[in-house]
């Protein structure tokens, strides 16, 4: 979806994305991955950060290429002027092969179902293929048991097979047992391919956490997403100095002083215990700021944090400030902080909701203005 065009006097809610931090995170994750090539994962509009600007920053920063989930996301990158390698992770129906070929997209081959159709199409519509192996994720990919019977058909596609890939289900789990098992299955599949005369020049099984936890085996490339945005759910990520690239900032729309006993918002779930100021911000659950953050989250303002009070509604939320704190319409308040240690960092807000930061950034609505710092 195109972003909603901003009017200079319009609603003041911004996702501020620092592309310099994205580039630095790329450098850090590449170092953690021992210098392997990086397919930067920018699906879902770069996890809500803005696929085209983030993608360009990653390519300028030396990424091998960009990974997206669908044909449409790949085409969006091309329309935005991204020229480097783009890999469609979610596979492609044969009908879409010509379009992907015209745009020079690489595609994950996610199972045996279209082998014949691809063999018919690729001579006229060439595509680079990355063979997806289901080593234990249980969604896309050839099962190891399917590989043997498919080898003759895969051999026909060998000229186009550039990569072999898998995906960890538990790279963030301190118990690495299952991840190690997936790695062994991957190696066994690669050996099977080699025996069948198929030699992918790229091998990649690792997401962000696999880079951070050294689960990379003999891979040539990695496929991080979350870490590029400076977000992480494992201690190794913070130790690496990843910098959260996104802050969500809303300007105060209205501020007023209310007496003790005033109730705020739908359902009257907040009652002012004493006189205080209520600042109303134009950010609500329609923007992706979850309804259950009311009476739970805090926002940053003038170096301190203040509580979100009452229910978050579709377009607005309300913040309680002591009466003596100077606040005026137009003042910026930080809803998601770029400081990973802040109580309103994306990781902490997500944890308070029992979810993961991916879900919060991906939910940021197109009506939020994206501002990029380069
Ligand atoms: C196939 C694939 N590879 C790589 C990634 C990147 O994972 P992460 O953001 O955890 O690094 C994802 C994300 O969901 C994915 O689906």
Q: Is 246 in the pocket of ligand 1 (CB under 6 A)?
A: no
The secondary structure of the chain in percent helix, strand, coil, rounded to multiples of 5, reads 35, 25, 40
Q: Is 226 in the pocket of ligand 1 (CB under 6 A)?
A: yes
DSSP reduced 3-state for 323: coil
- Give 9's pLDDT tier (boundaries 50, 70, 90): low
Query: Which ligand 1 atom sits nearest the alpha carbon of residue 224?
Result: 11
Average pLDDT over the chain, rounded to whole? 96
Query: Which ligand 1 atom sits nearest the alpha carbon of residue 41?
Result: 6
Cα separation, 42 vs 61, in Å, equals 14
Going by their DSSP bridges, the two strands 317-321 and 276-281 should be labelled as antiparallel
Site to substitute for ligand 1 among 38, 41, 137, 221, most atoms within 8 A of C-beta:
41
Ligand 1: centre distance to CA 275 (Å)? 48
| 266 is annotated as an active-site residue | yes
Cα separation, 112 vs 68, in Å, equals 21
- Would you list the domain boundaries of the chain? 19-231, 246-344
Q: Active site residue: 43, 56, 128, 132, which one? A: 43
CB 86 within 8 A of CB 65: yes
Q: Which of 141, 227, 148 is nearest to 182 (CA)?
A: 141
Site to substitute for ligand 1 among 223, 230, 359, most atoms within 8 A of C-beta:
223
Q: Active site residue: 21, 155, 266, 285, which one? A: 266
pLDDT digits (tens, 9 = 90+) for 12-43: 899 999 999 999 999 999 999 999 999 999 99
CA 26 to mean position of chain CA atoms: 14
Q: Is 224 in the pocket of ligand 1 (CB under 6 A)?
A: yes
Cα separation, 353 vs 33, in Å, equals 31
Q: Would the pLDDT of 118 be above 90?
A: yes
Ligand 1: centre distance to CA 167 (Å)? 8
Task: Name the pTM for this structure.
Answer: 0.96
- Give 210's pLDDT tier (boundaries 50, 70, 90): very high
Q: Is 46 in the pocket of ligand 1 (CB under 6 A)?
A: no
Q: What's the confidence (pLDDT) of residue 6?
A: 67
Four-way CATH pick for 246-344: 2.40.10.10, 3.40.50.720, 2.40.37.10, 3.30.565.10: 2.40.37.10
Structure tokens at 3: 């972003």
Q: Is 89 in the pocket of ligand 1 (CB under 6 A)?
A: yes
Four-way CATH pick for 19-231: 3.20.20.10, 3.40.50.920, 3.40.630.30, 3.30.160.20: 3.20.20.10
Cα separation, 223 vs 6, in Å, equals 33
Ligand 1: centre distance to CA 309 (Å)? 35
Cα separation, 102 vs 120, in Å, equals 16
Q: Would the pLDDT of 8 be above 70?
A: no
Q: Is 38 in the pocket of ligand 1 (CB under 6 A)?
A: no
Q: Would the pLDDT of 128 be above 70?
A: yes
pLDDT digits (tens, 9 = 90+) for 292-314: 999 999 999 999 999 999 999 99
**Percent of the chain whose pLDDT exceeds 70:** 97
Ligand 1: centre distance to CA 197 (Å)? 29
Q: What's the confidence (pLDDT) of residue 198?
A: 97
Q: What's the confidence (pLDDT) of residue 223?
A: 98
Strand partners, 333: 250
Instruction: Match 């759910």 to its residue by tokens.
Output: 233
Site to substitute for ligand 1 among 46, 166, 167, most atoms within 8 A of C-beta:
167
Average pLDDT over residues 123-136: 98
Other C-beta atoms closer than 10 Å to the C-beta of 371 total: 14
Closest residue by CA, ligand 1 atom 6: 225
Residue of higher predicted confidence among 9 and 128: 128
- Give 257's pLDDT tier (boundaries 50, 70, 90): very high
Ligand 1: centre distance to CA 227 (Å)? 10
Cα separation, 96 vs 77, in Å, equals 17
CB 96 within 8 A of CB 104: no
Structure tokens at 323: 């009466």
Give 10's contacts (C-beta < 8 A, 6+ positions apart).
Answer: none
- Give 5's pLDDT tier (boundaries 50, 70, 90): confident
User: Phi, psi at residue 123, to the nearest 5°?
Assistant: -55, -35
* Spatial strand order in the sheet of 65-68: 202-204, 161-165, 129-132, 106-109, 86-88, 65-68, 37-41, 221-222
Q: What's the confidence (pLDDT) of residue 83?
A: 95
pLDDT digits (tens, 9 = 90+) for 171-199: 999 999 999 999 999 999 999 999 999 99
DSSP code at position 237 = H
Is 246-344 in the same CATH topology as 19-231? no
């Amino acid at each position: 979806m195109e972003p909603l065009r901003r009017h200079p006097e319009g609603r003041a809610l911004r996702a501020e994305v620092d592309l310099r931090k994205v580039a630095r995170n790329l450098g850090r994750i590449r170092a953690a991955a021992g210098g392997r090539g990086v397919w930067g994962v920018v699906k879902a509009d770069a996890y809500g950060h803005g696929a085209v600007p983030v993608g360009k920053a990653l390519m300028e920063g030396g990424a091998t290429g960009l990974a997206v989930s669908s044909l449409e996301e790949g085409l969006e990158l091309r329309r935005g002027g991204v020229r480097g390698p783009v890999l469609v992770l979610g596979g492609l129906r044969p009908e879409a092969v010509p379009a992907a070929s015209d745009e020079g997209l690489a595609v994950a081959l996610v199972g045996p179902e279209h082998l014949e159709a691809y063999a018919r199409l690729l001579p006229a519509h060439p595509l680079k293929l990355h063979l997806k192996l289901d080593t234990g994720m249980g969604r896309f990919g050839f099962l190891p048991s399917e590989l043997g019977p498919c080898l003759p058909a895969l051999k026909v596609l060998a000229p186009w097979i550039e990569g072999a890939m898998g995906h960890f289900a538990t790279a963030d789990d301190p118990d690495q047992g299952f991840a190690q098992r997936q790695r062994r299955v991957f190696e066994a599949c690669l050996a099977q391919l080699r025996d069948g005369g198929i030699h992918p020049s790229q091998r990649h099984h690792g997401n962000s956490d696999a880079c951070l936890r050294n689960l990379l085996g003999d891979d040539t490339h990695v496929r991080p997403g979350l870490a590029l945005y400076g977000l992480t759910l494992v201690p190794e990520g913070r130790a690496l100095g990843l910098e959260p690239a996104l802050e969500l900032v809303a300007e105060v729309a209205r501020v007023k002083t209310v007496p003790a006993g005033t109730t705020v918002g739908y359902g009257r779930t907040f009652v002012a215990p004493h006189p205080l100021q209520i600042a109303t911000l134009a950010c609500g659950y329609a923007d992706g700021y979850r309804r259950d953050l009311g009476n739970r989250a805090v926002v940053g303002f003038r170096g301190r944090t203040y509580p979100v009070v009452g229910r978050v509604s579709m377009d607005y939320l309300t913040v309680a400030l002591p009466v003596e704190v100077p606040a005026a319409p137009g003042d910026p308040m930080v809803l998601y902080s770029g400081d990973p240690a802040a109580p309103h960092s994306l990781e902490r807000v997500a944890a308070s909701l029992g979810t993961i930061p991916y879900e919060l950034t991906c939910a940021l609505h197109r009506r939020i203005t994206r501002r990029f710092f380069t």
